Structure 1
Amino acid sequence: MRTAIVFNHPYEKSYCNAILEAVSNGLKKGQHEVDLMHLDNDGFNPVMSKADLKAFVEHKPIDPLVIDYNKRLEKADHLIFIFPIWWDLMPAMTKGFIDRVLCPGVVYDHHPRGFGLVPLLKDLKSVTIITTMNKPKIMYSLLIGNLIKKAMLRSVFKAMGYKNVNWISLASVKSVSQEKRLKWLLDIERKFAKWATITNHFCRQSS
């Protein structure tokens, strides 16, 4: 099984980086192949230029990195996003990935009858979004309205027709104890080790 991870955080000692390590370790224990798309290290440009938009409409990407990401997405069985929530939404690079990489003709297409969208990544079995934030979870839910859930789960992947979409939200990261942060990492590693093992077993049984 091949799991693509889209990672976005510029600081190498961030908690998001610790999450990335925990997720990767868990997946490898479950014998998943991990394909990391590190947007910051790859120098991904989130800006949609005039040329990019023309290529987007024509279903013919021109940016070599976007083309590379597209090819890797087509090979993925699972897709994981890891990023911090800044000002209640995703960072610019993650938003740019959604705008420029999740493009028609590759990730989705318009329904032939004109009703909604249809998914094109036939091998993709699940999408998982993992976020960190400093707000309490209840404040983000009640006051802000869980914008990540609305913007990424509903308005992007579910709108495209992908059904198995999940969100792991880690809140109040700066204010919780170091022990709790370490426990979260252990839980995440165990979750993805077990999750990878279960999905591998299911695919062997189905093949």
Structure 2
Amino acid sequence: MNNIVIVYCHPYQKSLNHAVLEAVKDNLAQHKIPYETIDLYRDKFQPFYDLEELRLFHTGETHDPLVTKYLELLKNAQGIIFITPIWWNSIPGMLKGFIDKVMKEGEGLSHTVSKYGIHGCLTNLTHAYVLTTSTSPTFYFRLFMGNAIKKIFISKTLKQLGIKRGTWINFGNVTNSSLTKREKHLKKIQKYPFQF
């Protein structure tokens, strides 16, 4: 079990997020690190509960085959890399729906719930990297907009699932960025020393 799961959340193949995805794949391939990619939009993942899915939630079951597939990938990986834009100061609804639906409660699933709170079971995922882009500059997002990726998504949500270490890398001010700056960021990602 030494493969990495990439969770990619963007609908547009010419986006900077897609270029980041390709840079991450190049990086992992250069280091001979096997990986699996979950492309939520390409897979046409339905990020919402229907009544049947909600009924099955507390039994740890699902009627969505993608949920089963994704959870198996996560349970057999060593690390995870999220690639996503920041929309309205947080993760997009598609990625939130991935967390909502795939993270099933139950023995051998993503977590269990006791009277003391949530116990994360995805401890095999030793490190999560969250690679984002944002319209706001990174410093503005950190200081004035609540820093939700670091404070909530990494330090609370992922930690509750059993992932103890998380690193956030953001490319801010994306709308007004130059081609040179974007290329520099992609080169940084291609050479980044991911550690799992």
Give the TM-score band, short-chain normalised. over 0.9
Structure with more of its chain in helix, by fraction:
1
* CA distance in 2: counterparts of 1:161 and 1:97, whole angstroms: 16
Q: Deviations over 1:88-145 (max 9, x none)?
A: 121111010010012212111124xx22222222422111111101111122122211
Match of 1:117 in 2: 118
Q: Deviations over 1:177-204 (max 9, x none)?
A: 211111111111101xx336xx5xxxxx
Where in structure 2 are the equivalents of 1:5-20 lying within 5 Å?
5-20=6-21
- Percent of pairs with identical residues: 34
Where in structure 2 are the equivalents of 1:47-66 lying within 5 Å?
47-66=48-67
8 Å contact from structure 2 (residues 5, 74) kept in 1: yes
Match of 1:108 in 2: 111
CA drift at 1:154: 2.4
8 Å contact from structure 1 (residues 78, 127) kept in 2: yes
CA drift at 1:10: 0.6
AA in 2 matched with 1:49? D
Scaled by the length of structure 1, the TM-score of the pair is 0.88
Give ranges in structure 2 of 5+ residues lacking alignment: none
- Spell out structure 1 runs of 4+ moving beyond 6 A: none
* CA distance in 2: counterparts of 1:98 and 1:195, whole angstroms: 23
Partner SS state of residue 104, structure 1 = coil
Q: Aligned pairs, how many?
A: 193
Where in structure 2 are the equivalents of 1:1-207 lying within 5 Å?
1-105=2-106, 106-111=109-114, 114-191=115-192, 194-195=193-194, 199=196
Q: Deviations over 1:35-76 (max 9, x none)?
A: 000000000001112211121111112211111111111111
Match of 1:204 in 2: none
* CA distance in 1: counterparts of 2:93 and 2:3, whole angstroms: 26
* CA distance in 2: counterparts of 1:157 and 1:135, whole angstroms: 23
* Residues 151/48 of structure 1: CA separation in 2 closer, same or farther (3 Å cut): farther
- Point out which structure has higher relative CO (alpha carbons under 8 A, 6+ apart): 1
* CA distance in 2: counterparts of 1:40 and 1:17, whole angstroms: 12
Partner SS state of residue 174, structure 1 = helix
CA drift at 1:163: 1.0
Give ranges in structure 1 of 5+ residues lacking alignment: 200-207
CA drift at 1:150: 2.8
Scaled by the length of structure 2, the TM-score of the pair is 0.92
RMSD: 1.5
